[in-house]
Amino acid sequence: MTIREINIPKRTIMTPGPVEVHPRVLRALSYPVLGQFDPAFTEMMNEVMAMLRQLFRTKNNWAFPVDGTSRAGLEAVLASIIRPGDKVLVPIFGRFGYLLAEICERYRADVYTMECPWGEVFAPEDVIREIKRVAPEIVAIVHGETSTGCMQPLEEIGRACRELDVLCVVDAVATIGGTDVNTDEWCLDAVIGGTQKCLSVPSGMAPITFNSRIEKRINERKKVERGIATEEDLKRERERAPIFSNYFDISQLMDYWSPRRLNHHTEATSMLYALREGVRVVLEEGLGERFERHRLHEAALVEGIRAMGLELFAEGRRKLPTVTCVKVPEQIDADLVRNMMLDEFGVEIASSFGPLHGKIWRIGTMGYSCRKENVLFTLAALEAVLIHVGAPVQPGRALQAVLSFYHEKTAVKGGVS
Amino acid sequence: MTIREINIPKRTIMTPGPVEVHPRVLRALSYPVLGQFDPAFTEMMNEVMAMLRQLFRTKNNWAFPVDGTSRAGLEAVLASIIRPGDKVLVPIFGRFGYLLAEICERYRADVYTMECPWGEVFAPEDVIREIKRVAPEIVAIVHGETSTGCMQPLEEIGRACRELDVLCVVDAVATIGGTDVNTDEWCLDAVIGGTQKCLSVPSGMAPITFNSRIEKRINERKKVERGIATEEDLKRERERAPIFSNYFDISQLMDYWSPRRLNHHTEATSMLYALREGVRVVLEEGLGERFERHRLHEAALVEGIRAMGLELFAEGRRKLPTVTCVKVPEQIDADLVRNMMLDEFGVEIASSFGPLHGKIWRIGTMGYSCRKENVLFTLAALEAVLIHVGAPVQPGRALQAVLSFYHEKTAVKGGVS
């Protein structure tokens, strides 16, 4: 059987993920694998844990990847802490809030939701009032909602949860490595990141961190092995709900990621190399510098979008700095524009979900994709296609505005990466 | 913060997985990523499905990877078909049988087990008798049990399940790509493979296939989306058990892997490149030729082990052709020998689990690791370390026996890959 060689077309990927992978990460993926208990590999596991603590800005003992895509990390945390009937409050401001609620339902939580219109975020006091009213065991909330380009402020909510002894679980898939996620200072009990967005690592791993409050709850549910359990163990086990997944059982993942090294799965070797290199790139750049770079190119993109005569969907303080949502001009077929950008320019931007499909385009400025030439080329492609389909844009203005913007910033700061 | 560059030491990996990754697969891992809905990527998804059908020897419509390590594939299939209280029969002949039982328990099946001593397999008629007695909905069984180096014949069991209208789910993680797994002819309803063993792809994906019997059962449990469900839908939904995982919900994975392309997770791009290239290498070699190569190097290894004066743990027809278990000579510290092989020679072999830990070594001959020079170097290292620790081996005989074996085979067949 003859199957053709893989041929990857050249793309400029400006979606909210997956985005372009950093060349150093691509190189790391091609290194030979090691056995999972090879000391050279277990040492790397420990290094990754140390690096993830810095990325999540935490002193938590536990920080490691779950082997699966981002939602595997979300499900691992939620599956490990939700006991059937537990009250979970999920404030929803876009598609990924629904995902959190849906995962909680699968694990038979008593799910309470509150919603605000897509394109807005919650006033923290509204969420806190609802926490007091519902008195949930857990609040599960999205930080950066890529479906609407909005970012929920978490500091007050996290602190309120701590005071009220509620566990606060945060989906930071779209923000980790691109804008501040301050786990400890914001009192977040568990935070789940994604690899394929601002970390510029391929999809397939989900770095998570959680504190001793979460750990305590998980250990209460830990299964004692058949052969070594006493009658009392078994009685206690019957009384408490076990974790209803083997793959996502964080009590077993802790045994694997601790010096005990109890075999659970076989760690995804090459993806761990990639994560290590990706986070290494982030920490070398510096978290503060990296967040500033993300804001710079976001601002440049917004400048160009506006100069073209287009409008933003979500702006101001609620805007997610790593995703920019652009309103599709009336009478313009949003998918036709996207497809033409991909076919003619190799530039990929995203549509959105549900009520926003066809209404907005979503443009990511994430990780390695968040670069000057990508911003310029995306605007050039968008403008050309819009002119081609007869949209009322101001020809030539976007790139001039963006060039001026960069020159001004460069003159002040010196150098734009 | 300065973190050192990754430095991977050179290893000869002769464990039952993860094993050495094929160089072409390592290269594929380093290609730039594509967006998940890029036509160039969705075309690749379809290609992978077509290639997996050939690998699994099936006409099944469904053959795709689950994004997670091998046990993620096992859990996805079991989670999607087990309704609480369903009877599942798990014949156990080693550690990974226990894993199947444990996953089924987590999803609240009524689990029936039968066991045979580690190092043996079941007579098919014994399993069939138990199926008739228990009358389970599902039989879940391991094909190649790496913990004991044994392989369970499945043809009669699969056919009996079909006749009795029982679903037969098979863990072929250790056998797929290394020895025959004949899904359709053996009447297996769902088969789960692993990447990091005979396919020589890194850990992190689990290719699965399943037929319309499994599909029907999964679709009966499919969740209807809130906004479009009628009163009758909701009533029916209340009556039937939903799938208790979002990540492992195969009804949603089918929507993602079908022309509908309904977004579920973001497919693990680089791992999909790796799987595509790994299976491409397998199909180019040819399944028959590849299985023959595995038997050849297994036989060479066994020849050397015996010539050295060591004994096998499981032999004959029940032996797994991709793993050879060797009895540790009396008074010899099994882990000390393994560690010295790794430290001095960079050669990795494995210990075993539970009752067999310290009693046997397990040597894999899998995928790209299954090569003449690896067999020779592993035997040389094992012999030298055993002499060093004072074990009663016959010096020098192993390699001479193996060289003669290969020369003889080469003279007959011409060429040994």
How high does pLDDT run on average in chain A?
95
Displacement of CA A330 from its chain's centroid (Å): 31
pLDDT tens for A250-282 read: 999 999 999 999 889 999 999 999 999 999 999
Q: How far off is chain B from A106, nearest CA to CA, in Å? A: 5
Q: What are the Cα distances from residue B153, in Å, to B156, B169, B179, B186, B390?
A: 8, 14, 12, 10, 39
Contact A246 B196 (CB under 8 A): no
- Which value does ipTM take for this structure? 0.95
Q: Say what the pLDDT of residue B2 is.
A: 76
Whether pLDDT at A376 is above 70 = yes
Distance CA B19, CA B371 (A): 12
| Burial class of residue B411 in the structure, from the number of CB atoms within 10 Å of its CB (0-12 exposed, 13-18 middle, 19+ buried) | exposed
Whether pLDDT at A31 is above 80 = yes
- Chain A residues with CB-CB distance to B357 below 8 A: none
Whether pLDDT at B32 is above 90 = yes
Q: Say what the pLDDT of residue B245 is.
A: 97
Q: Say what the pLDDT of residue A125 is.
A: 98
Displacement of CA A306 from its chain's centroid (Å): 27
Q: Say what the pLDDT of residue B413 is.
A: 60
Contact B32 A11 (CB under 8 A): yes
pLDDT tens for B319-331 read: 999 999 999 999 9
Nearest CA to A300 out of A409, A412, A206, A155 is that of A409
Whether pLDDT at A415 is above 60 = no
pLDDT-based confidence at B353, cuts 50/70/90? confident
A356-360 CB contacts, 8 Å cutoff, 24+ apart? A356/A118, A356/A147, A356/A148, A356/A313, A356/A325, A358/A328, A358/A333, A358/A334, A359/A313, A359/A327, A359/A328, A359/A334, A360/A149, A360/A313, A360/A325, A360/A326, A360/A327, A360/A328, A360/A334
Q: What are the Cα distances from residue A231, in Å, to A226, A236, B234?
A: 11, 9, 42
Distance CA A209, CA A61 (A): 8
Q: Which chain B residue shows the shortest CA-CA distance from A200?
A: B33
Cβ(A122)–Cβ(A129) below 8 Å? no
Cβ(B151)–Cβ(B173) below 8 Å? no
Contact A32 B44 (CB under 8 A): no
Distance CA A285, CA A21 (A): 16
Whether pLDDT at A1 is above 80 = no
Q: Say what the pLDDT of residue A2 is.
A: 76
Q: How far off is chain B from A205, nearest CA to CA, in Å? A: 8
Contact B33 A18 (CB under 8 A): yes
Q: Which chain A residue shows the shortest CA-CA distance from B206?
A: A68
Nearest CA to A14 out of A414, A290, A382, A272 is that of A382
pLDDT tens for B9-29 read: 999 999 999 999 999 999 999
pLDDT-based confidence at A115, cuts 50/70/90? very high
Count helices and strands (H / E) in chain A.
Answer: 14, 13
Count the alpha carbons within 13 Å of A93 in the hemisphere toward its beta carbon: 27
- Which B-chain residues 184-203 have CB contacts (< 8 A) with chain A? 196, 202-203
A276 vs B: CB within 8 A: yes
- Chain A residues with CB-CB distance to B26 below 8 A: 29-32
B20 vs A: CB within 8 A: yes
pLDDT tens for A333-357 read: 999 999 999 999 999 999 998 889 9
Distance CA B130, CA B133 (A): 5
Nearest to A33 among B18, B33, B353 (CB): B18
- Which B-chain residues 79-98 have CB contacts (< 8 A) with chain A? 79
Count the alpha carbons within 13 Å of A166 in the hemisphere toward its beta carbon: 28
Tokens for A132, please give them: 């007091």
- Could you give the 3-state DSSP secondary structure of residue A392? coil
pLDDT-based confidence at A69, cuts 50/70/90? very high
Distance CA B378, CA B345 (A): 9
pLDDT tens for A89-109 read: 999 999 999 999 999 999 999
Question: Domains in chain B, ordered, with CATH?
Answer: 21-282 (3.40.640.10), 287-413 (3.90.1150.10)
Whether pLDDT at B229 is above 90 = no
Residue A57, by phi and psi: left (phi above 0), alpha (psi -120 to 50) or beta?
left
Q: What is the Cα gyration radius of chain B?
A: 22
Tokens for A238, please give them: 């019957």
- Which B-chain residues 131-190 have CB contacts (< 8 A) with chain A? none
Cis peptide before A18 (omega within 30 of 0): yes
Q: What are the Cα distances from residue B42, in Å, to A53, A162, A355, B274?
A: 35, 44, 25, 15
Q: How far off is chain B from A107, nearest CA to CA, in Å? A: 6
- Could you give the 3-state DSSP secondary structure of residue B94? coil
Whether pLDDT at B414 is above 60 = no
Distance CA A365, CA A386 (A): 21
Q: Say what the pLDDT of residue B221 is.
A: 87
Q: Say what the pLDDT of residue A353 is.
A: 86
Q: Which chain B residue shows the shortest CA-CA distance from A22?
A: B32
Cβ(A171)–Cβ(A103) below 8 Å? no
Mean pLDDT of B332-344: 98
Pick from B67, B192, B238 the residue to mutate for testing the A interface (most A CBs within 10 Å). Answer: B67
Pick from B106, B192, B251 the residue to mutate for testing the A interface (most A CBs within 10 Å). Answer: B106
Contact B38 A203 (CB under 8 A): no
A293 vs B: CB within 8 A: no
Q: What are the Cα distances from residue B127, in Å, to B117, B155, B315?
A: 14, 12, 21
Cβ(B24)–Cβ(B277) below 8 Å? yes
Q: Which range (A136-140, A229-233, B174-178) has the least confidence?
A: A229-233
Count helices and strands (H / E) in chain B.
Answer: 14, 13
pLDDT tens for A197-256 read: 999 999 999 999 999 999 999 999 887 555 555 677 666 666 677 899 999 999 999 999
| Burial class of residue B125 in the structure, from the number of CB atoms within 10 Å of its CB (0-12 exposed, 13-18 middle, 19+ buried) | exposed
Which amino acid appears at position A324 of this protein?
T
Distance CA B319, CA B323 (A): 8
Cβ(B209)–Cβ(B45) below 8 Å? no
Tokens for A191, please give them: 């935070």
Contact A277 B6 (CB under 8 A): yes
Distance CA B272, CA B28 (A): 9
Whether pLDDT at B234 is above 70 = no
B291 vs A: CB within 8 A: no
